[in-house]
Structure 1
Amino acid sequence: MKLLHIVVGAFVLFAFLLTGQYMDYLDVRSGALGDATRMMFRSRHIYILLSGLVNLAVGTYFVRRAGGWRRTLQTTGSILVLAAPLLLLAAFFTEPGLPGLRRQFTLPAIVILAVGTLLHAFSGVRAGRETVELKQKQNEVELTD
């Protein structure tokens, strides 16, 4: 999972650069598309950056939990964090063209990203003590062998 988060994060950051070039191609800054459309493009663009950075951060610090409920929370969190960029990329290309300020992809993506991040955080609460105890037991086993 560690490598997957890092690779997805890097690809999403590259996609962030490409979506920036796409906005420049459309000349979003000029306001010719209208204020609402400009705001939609820019906000989705920044959300793509957010999802890429969260994936990189999770990948950088990822340590597989020992098991049980902590691992379940961590795995579920990883799946959610990895899914969010796909929804945000879909939002970037579809939502600015919709009438009004409809957010059929953005809202679920941001909620998924937030919940996934919180699940990762909860999976690590007070896990440090368990990790130290597990390492001590492993050292004791090695000494007796």
Structure 2
Amino acid sequence: MGGWQKVHLWVGAMGVLLFLVSGAYMNSNFPDLYGGNMMVRMMYRANHVYLLLGSLVNLGLAMVTLAPLLGAWRWVRGGASLLLVVGNLLLLFAFWWEPAAQRIDRPLTFWGLILLMAGTGALLLAWFKRDAETG
């Protein structure tokens, strides 16, 4: 297992564990947590699911063996991995901070999801490049 695969495995596994912890936290603290404000309740729930999304993307990437790439495409894949890890971390922080602060703009959630999308897109481009090279 390569270096990035280990990172993705660790981030994904810890993310699933934190997903379970955040679910237990919500279960034991609702409705006091949102004080009857349904917007805040839905923000907690949405961020809870986003945390699972990022964790599963990282776990999925840890479980596949990617063919080696040469040159700049190797760096694209490394950058994509970094985007996925940072995106997942932003979603973790977003769960704990944004609903409690009642921030409707949710910048951490927004950028966390953008990084997940960008990282996945970059990996897809690298995969197509590899597929084109191998015929």
Per the normalisation by structure 1, the TM-score is: 0.82
Residues in 2 aligned to 1:23 and 1:4: alpha-carbon distance in whole angstroms:
28
Q: If you compute each CA radius of gyration, which structure gives the higher value, 1 or 2?
A: 1
User: Counterpart of 1:86?
Assistant: 89
Deviates more, 1:122-131 or 1:103-112: 122-131
Backbone CA RMSD of aligned residues: 2.0
Alignment of 1:1-145 (within 5 A): 1-28=4-31, 32-63=35-66, 65-128=68-131, 130-131=133-134
- Residues 16 and 55 of structure 2 are in contact (CA less than 8 Å); yes or no, is this contact kept in structure 1? yes
Q: Deviations over 1:79-122 (max 9, x none)?
A: 00011121111111111122451212100100001000110110
Residues in 2 aligned to 1:120 and 1:86: alpha-carbon distance in whole angstroms:
19
Could you tell me how far 1:52 is from its partner in structure 2? 0.3
- Residues 26 and 33 of structure 2 are in contact (CA less than 8 Å); yes or no, is this contact kept in structure 1? no
Residues in 2 aligned to 1:123 and 1:29: alpha-carbon distance in whole angstroms:
46
Alignment CA distance shift 1:128-1:111 (3 Å)? same
Q: Deviations over 1:29-52 (max 9, x none)?
A: 997441011011000000000000
- Residues 91 and 108 of structure 2 are in contact (CA less than 8 Å); yes or no, is this contact kept in structure 1? yes
Tell me the amino acid that sits aligned with residue 68 of structure 1.
G
Structure 1 residue ranges (4+ consecutive) displaced by more than 6 angstroms after TM superposition = none
Structure 1: gaps (5+ residues)? 133-145
Q: How many residues in Structure 1 have an aligned counterpart in Structure 2?
A: 132
- Residues 67 and 130 of structure 2 are in contact (CA less than 8 Å); yes or no, is this contact kept in structure 1? no
Per the normalisation by structure 2, the TM-score is: 0.88
- Residues 64 and 71 of structure 1 are in contact (CA less than 8 Å); yes or no, is this contact kept in structure 2? no
Residues in 1 aligned to 2:120 and 2:36: alpha-carbon distance in whole angstroms:
34
Structure 2: gaps (5+ residues)? none
